[in-house]
Amino acid sequence: MRVLLPERPRPLIFAHRGCSSLAPENTMAAFRKARDAGAPGLELDIHATKDGGLVVAHDDTFERTAPQCGSKQLEELTVREIKHFDVGSFFDPAFAAERPPLLEEVFEEFCPDLYIDIELKSHRTKNDPLPQLLAERLKALGPKAAESVTVSSFNPVCLRSFKTAWKRLRNTPIACAVIYCASAEVPFPLRHGAGRFIAGCDYLKPRYTQVNVWRRALCALEGRPLVPWTVDDGALARRLFHLGCAGIITNRPQDIVER
């Protein structure tokens, strides 16, 4: 089985959108809270902007986290427009100064001290700029990319496109994962991880409810580590580690990390 982020201590713990239980998700404040809580890794989401930026945000619009900004898709907005949005007040007025960060800003402050799982947010199956844009940003990051970064997506076509783009730019491998869950929002054929056969991924990110001894054994036979999401209970995290999961993704690193 491939060892995921082999230079990093076990178990791997990724703070989901930062420490999103204590600060607004996918903001520098949330990432700093995660670091302060002792989280060794971050999980975040990226979208491509209209002008080729990579903005850290989960949804396709800012309607939930910045409702005053309307319903435009992120890919219809420029970086300059996005940088005016308040994405902190929805969580607490104390975070009103938070603006959506760019991926480069996160790299500059947290990499390589923390490892980072970058989730590609895309519904496209063709003409998608996101995979190439990320490959170019990671190339600029240099050797730190392979040592500190993983890439994942619900969209196996997007993930495969990233792997192809990255291979053209660098020979150093970056671990990639298909994300999945048994949700009506996920296309039926992809709800149990079949996207791995499209993407050719290195590890798997299932919802934690889809992890059991049988599935763990199957993944071991395939040589693919498991990193389930979203695990916010310490006892559950320990059970998953006992099953052999390489790591977990959590909203509450402050309750999971042993300090």
Q: What is the mean pLDDT of residues 141-156?
A: 92
Is there a contact between 47 and 61 (Cβ–Cβ < 8 Å)? no
The total of other beta-carbon atoms located within 10 Å of residue 223's CB is: 10
For 56, phi then psi, to 5°, come to -90, 110
Residue 167 has pLDDT above 80, yes or no: yes
Residue 1 has pLDDT above 80, yes or no: no
Q: Name residue 248's beta-bridge partners.
A: 13
Length of the chain: 259
For 73, phi then psi, to 5°, come to -65, 145
Enumerate residues 6+ apart whose C-beta is below 8 A from 96: 86, 88, 89
Least confident among 87-91, 208-212, 215-219: 215-219
Q: Which of 58, 123, 192, 242 is catalytic?
A: 58
Average pLDDT along the chain: 95
Domains observed in the chain: 12-256 (3.20.20.190)
Residue 218 has pLDDT above 80, yes or no: no
Q: What is the mean pLDDT of residues 76-98?
A: 97
Whether residue 16 lies in the annotated active site:
yes
Q: What is the mean pLDDT of residues 195-203?
A: 95
Residue 113 has pLDDT above 80, yes or no: yes
Whether residue 242 lies in the annotated active site:
no
Q: How far apart, in whole angstroms, are the C-alpha atoms of residue 92 and residue 43? A: 21
pLDDT per position as a tens digit, 32-70: 999 999 999 999 999 999 999 999 999 999 999 999 888
User: Angle at which helices 103-110 and 28-36 pack, to 10 degrees?
Assistant: 20
- Two structure tokens written together for 166: 């990255």
Q: How far apart, in whole angstroms, are the C-alpha atoms of residue 98 and residue 83? A: 9
Instruction: Classify the C-alpha dihedral 89-90-94-97 as positive or negative.
Output: negative
Residue 214 has pLDDT above 90, yes or no: no
Least confident among 149-158, 166-175, 191-200, 237-246: 166-175
Residue 3 has pLDDT above 90, yes or no: no
Question: Which pLDDT score, from 0 to 100, does residue 144 have?
Answer: 84
